Structure 1
Amino acid sequence: MLTSREGLCDEEVSKWNRDGWLVVDDAIDDPTLDMLRHAVEELASWATADGPGLHHFEQTPSGPTLARSERFADEHGWLGSFVRSGVVPDVVAAVLAEPAALFKEKVNYKLPSGAGFAAHQDAAAYRFVDHHISVMVPIDPATVDNGCLWFARGHGAGKLDTDERGRLTDDVIASLDWEPVEVEPGQLVAFDSYAPHRSETNQTDMPRRTLYLTYNAANLGDFRDQYYTDKDAEFAAAGSTFASGGVRISISDDFLGRPVEP
């Protein structure tokens, strides 16, 4: 249970305890947003030019498109500084009441017709410690039409029932009250690894690019290298698709995108 925290008002503390997620307004100024857009464009160029980082693609009606870039904090100097210092880790530290360590980092591009994610909890795929905090940093407006996040209360129950793919079961999904969270660049959305969430396909002709930055309490250790070492090994052993036929971009089979066709 979160109690009063420096940097959070009583209303924000109450909402966090009730919902497991929180919108932070006016968190990032316009010059920083411009830098973020430029940095994300650089990541996208790396993906199509065998550059550094880990990149994933999906098949859409208009052809293969970039779905995700991750593991870039040690390769991109400006982004590395952004994800490890400043407003985002400060927000996480306020929630944790102690310093935070970067666990993983990614950009979901959700280009036109880009797929969403089935209802899930991140805790099913995150390892080494029991509790993680993620922060969504929108680069473009996130709306219902372009596939914004939907959250439901339930994080206080811990891990909810999942199927063999790591998705919440139909019974759990039906029991939850889902709410779309539409946000603009400059806002942040912090959520814990037990907060149930999902998203839909981007039905617009514009991208919905978003950073998702995940942290754990620093006193528990730094697990980022081990996380990506394990992910590399699993992907190398299991291939680019799950048994279900879904694209393997996560450890859990919750992405709704299609594999790139030969």
Structure 2
Amino acid sequence: MVKANVTIDGAAFREEGWLVMRGAIEPGELAAIDAAVCDVAGWAEADGPGLHHFEQTDAGAVLARSEDFIEHHDVLRAFICDGLITRVLGELFGEPAVLFKEKVNYKHPGGGGFAPHQDAPAYRFIDHHISCMVPLDPATEQSGCLYVAPVPDAGSSTSPGRGSMMMTDERGRIDESLSAGLAWRPVPLDPGDLLFFDSYTPHYSDTNSSDRPRRAAYLTYNAASRGDFRDRYYADKRADFALAGDDFDGERVRISIIDDFLGRPAQR
């Protein structure tokens, strides 16, 4: 349910590439979503449905991410596919939205962060998406909140302007020389807040150095007129992982199509 005081600043989103909505989800709905995510986490430990990834921390192997689960949970499917988020996205896209992928990042204490990147290289088939971060625990600088930055003004191949790809390295991360010059800012969030950002918004996060998890769902959509590619995306990702294995050079977990996650391969 949308709170009465929630407003959608589409102009700010188009200008910056991200939009924060504070206190957008009512406590009762948030509690139901939290319980549903606990169900999904339990599936990972019991060989249940979904696609799950683990990482190694100093305290042992922990669950890093779950994805591809909406067919198996009515509460999450209703929230993700027919709720507040899709209504907001209808305004941001200017047309109905369709789900492209869904995931939960658990970020347990010591859980790895993500190097500076844009999502576009990892999201095949369509050139523009909008994601919504739904925090289930406080996202603070200590617990590894997201940092975002505007794309530099257009004018060169390395500063292509809003809605464009920045130069990346061979791993799909934003080139370090460019990342160092971006105007990064942290986006602390509380449960009930929402953060919308598009697939060209530079972002990263640090390791969780707190003593509590920093769980958050990341829900990615595209404009409905572009087509429904969710099934194809997951089939493609599973095939890639089956071919390439579950890590990058034995040093980092293969959690995405690009090598942006800094978590260590789990020893289970």
TM over 0.5: yes
Matched, 1:194 2:231: no
| Secondary structure class of the residue paired with 1:236 | helix
The equivalent of 1:166 in structure 2 is 172
The equivalent of 1:93 in structure 2 is 90
Of 152-161 and 33-42, more deviation after overlay is shown by 152-161
Task: Please show how residues 37-48 of structure 1 align to structure 2 within 5 Å.
Answer: 37-48=34-45
Match of 1:183 among 182, 185, 189: 189
Residues 7 and 21 of structure 2 are in contact (CA less than 8 Å); yes or no, is this contact kept in structure 1?
no
Task: Please show how residues 1-262 of structure 1 align to structure 2 within 5 Å.
Answer: 12-154=9-151, 156=162, 158-243=164-249, 245-261=251-267
Unpaired stretches in structure 1, ≥5 consecutive residues: 1-6
| Secondary structure class of the residue paired with 2:219 | strand
For 2:46, the aligned partner's letter is: A
Deviation at 1:171, TM superposition (A): 1.1
The equivalent of 2:154 in structure 1 is none
Of 135-144 and 153-162, more deviation after overlay is shown by 153-162
Residues 8 and 94 of structure 1 are in contact (CA less than 8 Å); yes or no, is this contact kept in structure 2?
no
Deviation at 1:69, TM superposition (A): 0.3
Residues 84 and 102 of structure 1 are in contact (CA less than 8 Å); yes or no, is this contact kept in structure 2?
yes
Deviation at 1:261, TM superposition (A): 2.4
Tell me the alpha carbon deviations over residues 108-146 of structure 1, each in whole angstroms, 9 at most, x when there is no partner.
000111111000000011111110000000001100000
Deviation at 1:76, TM superposition (A): 1.0
Deviation at 1:13, TM superposition (A): 2.9
**CA–CA distance in 1 between the matches of 2:93 and 2:10?**
11
Unpaired stretches in structure 2, ≥5 consecutive residues: 1-5, 152-160
Deviation at 1:26, TM superposition (A): 2.3
Deviation at 1:19, TM superposition (A): 1.4
For 1:146, the aligned partner's letter is: S
Under a length normalisation based on structure 1, what TM-score does the superposition of the two structures give?
Answer: 0.94
Across the two proteins, how many residue pairs are aligned to each other? Answer: 254
Deviation at 1:223, TM superposition (A): 0.2
For 1:165, the aligned partner's letter is: R
Tell me the alpha carbon deviations over residues 41-82 of structure 1, each in whole angstroms, 9 at most, x when there is no partner.
111110000000000000000000000000001111111111
For 2:166, the aligned partner's letter is: L
| Secondary structure class of the residue paired with 1:175 | coil
Tell me the alpha carbon deviations over residues 78-116 of structure 1, each in whole angstroms, 9 at most, x when there is no partner.
111111011011111110010000000000000111111
For 1:150, the aligned partner's letter is: Y
| Secondary structure class of the residue paired with 1:101 | strand
| Secondary structure class of the residue paired with 1:226 | helix
For 1:37, the aligned partner's letter is: D
For 1:200, the aligned partner's letter is: D
Deviation at 1:14, TM superposition (A): 3.4
